[in-house]
Structure 1
């Protein structure tokens, strides 16, 4: 049982079961909307894998269109593995360990292998408390479960201890491979259309291709111990494998074996993740890809990546709109693992709907100033909540408010910021639609009133947790409400002014606190 991806229908979709070339043909026809067996954290890896594979395969046969028939895709995929007339690199189970199998480099011999019972145990998930999802539960796994786990592991994994090196396409072994891009939405919905997304990214990348520029599928290449590739040897769309893995048959069940390596597959430490990955934000001055770390995809982070006045980050190629995309609603997709030292803080995903009218304008000059204005309004209300609660924590003695009192306001402020985060992009798109001052002021007033209402709710919700002597509490709470309302009044009174002023004041005051 070879489980040949080029011929056997191993991958399930809502449009039926497909071989790998059959899947690409079906996606080219726009038929695939769901991969039922694909786990949420595997989506970015699977999308990027299919796009990179398709771009290189079409380039290898000199095509710039997306074939809608299975035979054309099969021929294109085979063009990437010309040295294997029996298609071994496309077999999920290799008959000969000395030859490669799908995403499984050949065994050079002399290695010590350990058993892996299930595809979820092979996958890249590493958690300190096994909390993201339980490991080794897929005892009745189908071949496609192993396919998805291999793609996830080999193209997204980080450093996992001695002999377990991570991928080249991220800034260090404890970083993340980030996907930040625009995706077409399903008709009448705010969900990703996976076929249209794949087709859009493949077409965009093909426009700049000039032929195969180096090694493409690294699992077909020999991997002697201690041997690493240089980035200069590889095609820009190379698909890497970072671990030694082999799938085997144990009776009727598939199992895996893995081994360690003496060196990373690609010598790319100095590149800091700057490998030409078209989904990766790149820091312009430091030349490194984004590390998500313990952050989430908040509006603050997305504004820094996409709308920063300082221009610190180069936007990924596939996160920028194309001329023919201005007539369709899109989704801004941001996904990655928040990775730490031999653990993850979970899979982080955010999908931001971008209205049709905003697609062309979202990367112009106006959104930069408007995004800063929305952030400044949030900051001014956050400042009001902070000052009000800190006053209560200080027993109502305004002159005694100090850093410990400000620290006690953090839970309430975090709750405010979470709700403001959900409001940020709808507010930004609404402000971008306004073209006159007469329309802008009422819109901003409504936003500030909404935030003020949230701040008041969080203020009263937080009051019982504010330490204060019972004798002083009435005065403390009264003065705290006064401090809150005073700053909210200032925010509303400045409706006609530049909201950045409040943002600058907020930053300075917070730093001093």
Structure 2
């Protein structure tokens, strides 16, 4: 088995000096490598298209890290505009770690009694009892990869330094509780919760969003500090700077409003005396931050807060389905985080609300979820008015309409699978089969929900747009039912009876005033017009 090198450790892999961060530019996707200061200059000019080392579940942690770090550096320097040069950014970042002029806190590898990037100092530098050795960055990464659920672990054998960088940030800023000694972050509602994120994304690339979110943090800094109970001045900013024995926690009230946290005792190492990176880990007896009573309300710029329940949002395995997404964007249940608040500088075209998050469970993951919610010009105008009752009302009515048609379709499906029996109590087998087919209908409506919603709000004839949507949804429901015929009864007599009864249930339900009066009224007039057309002159 490969062992790690225990000789004297020197500073290596400096994010301030070495071009360790792989990216591609916006002009032709050409590869380019950045150090951190130079990356900030490129982001300020919106020159970065993407980061090859970045995996989907790491996108928000990386974005949040870049925003929080830039915002605290600018605030410390008394600036509200991005620095123009690489040297200015380097000086500003070093100013965040004045007790370490050698730049150790910005190096992936440093002596263990010193802070290294995202790695708290070990008292006396002794790690001889740190037995857990990790050989790949995906082993280091959070639960979603380390337990072989969504991605296979320990496969990144030819890893680059920025693979370790992304894995380290992912672990330290979005991991939860994973058994004794493995505590989670403060910015979520409990150890088995998650850190979802919502924010406005204007038209552009990585840098455009980075710029607007840095400005949002700076604009809301005093408000965050006052409402959340954090320090306006002299708060702890980078939580990997103070030494950590593993026995104690930092007081939440001692932190800066933009604090970047760590949750695990990790040290990156060199394997076998080479420049190949590995990691060692050791558990702790306490969380890094004493914030359990906060329930995830920490001033996180991307975290919605359930105001009535007094806790941060936690997403389920459904992710950001149309019901939750509509509530988050248009409703009043959640307090919008600062990054989700629209600004006039966001422009009017191509604006979306981006929702991201990993659903965590006890010892498992239930998927990475990401949704882009388009914001049309009129919707943008309504959202900038407080409150936006019109858009919330329309969204609520549409959710109700989908629910009602879904209910009618489900009854028709259950009728089909119960061989056309006319009853309201169905067999378990019929109900289970109906549930399977109904998912395809709801998933399709989910996918088009916000495009159709925007179309109604933007329309000069919103009533007509609503009716056309209801009619097309009714047609789609019938298509789903007919597609289920192949799974229903197959003997000739039973097939005819089951299919006929199912269609009758669907059409009767759609034409009932108890379902959707607007739809029922349309069908009633349509029938009357057809009858009048056939009356003898």
TM-score (norm 2): 0.86
The 1-side partners of 2:397 and 2:449 are apart by: 11
Q: Is the 8 A contact 2:220 2:338 kept in 1?
A: no
2:206 alignment counterpart: 194
Classify the secondary structure of the residue corresponding to 1:101.
coil
Distance 1:341 1:427, change over 3 A: same
2:36 corresponds to 1:35: no
Question: Looking at CA atoms only, which structure, 1 or 2, has the larger radius of gyration?
Answer: 2
Q: CA deviation at 1:461?
A: 2.0
The 2-side partners of 1:235 and 1:169 are apart by: 13
Paired residues for 1:487-498 under 5 Å? 487-490=509-512, 494-495=518-519
Q: Is the 8 A contact 1:127 1:345 kept in 2?
A: no
Q: CA deviation at 1:305?
A: 2.1
1:291 alignment counterpart: 314
The 2-side partners of 1:25 and 1:496 are apart by: 59
2:441 alignment counterpart: 416
| Aligned pair partner of 1:87 in 100, 103, 107 | 103
The 1-side partners of 2:412 and 2:520 are apart by: 24
Classify the secondary structure of the residue corresponding to 2:501.
helix
TM-score (norm 1): 0.90
The 2-side partners of 1:29 and 1:278 are apart by: 23
Distance 1:381 1:126, change over 3 A: same
**In the TM superposition, what whole-angstrom CA distance separates every residue of 1:426-472 from its partner, at most 9, and x where no partner exists?**
1111111135xxx1232122212221222112112223434698754
Paired residues for 1:319-330 under 5 Å? 319-330=340-351
Paired residues for 1:233-244 under 5 Å? 233-244=254-265
2:138 alignment counterpart: 120
Distance 1:120 1:482, change over 3 A: same
Classify the secondary structure of the residue corresponding to 2:268.
strand
The 2-side partners of 1:328 and 1:459 are apart by: 38
Q: Is the 8 A contact 1:326 1:360 kept in 2?
A: no
Paired residues for 1:296-311 under 5 Å? 296-308=319-331, 311=332
1:511 alignment counterpart: none
Q: How many residues align?
A: 486
Q: Is the 8 A contact 1:160 1:342 kept in 2?
A: yes
| Aligned pair partner of 1:104 in 105, 119, 127 | 119
Q: Is the 8 A contact 1:395 1:469 kept in 2?
A: no
Classify the secondary structure of the residue corresponding to 2:286.
coil
Q: CA deviation at 1:400?
A: 4.7
| Aligned pair partner of 1:347 in 368, 380, 403 | 368
Where structure 2 has 5 or more consecutive residues not aligned to the other structure, the ranges are 1-10, 26-31, 223-231, 522-537
**In the TM superposition, what whole-angstrom CA distance separates every residue of 1:182-219 from its partner, at most 9, and x where no partner exists?**
11123xxxxxx210011000011112335545100000
2:400 corresponds to 1:376: yes
The 2-side partners of 1:337 and 1:153 are apart by: 12
Q: CA deviation at 1:80?
A: 1.1
The 1-side partners of 2:109 and 2:147 are apart by: 32
Classify the secondary structure of the residue corresponding to 2:298.
coil
2:136 corresponds to 1:142: no
The 2-side partners of 1:475 and 1:495 are apart by: 27
The 2-side partners of 1:123 and 1:225 are apart by: 20
Q: CA deviation at 1:401?
A: 3.0
2:481 alignment counterpart: 459
CA RMSD of superposed structures (Å): 2.2
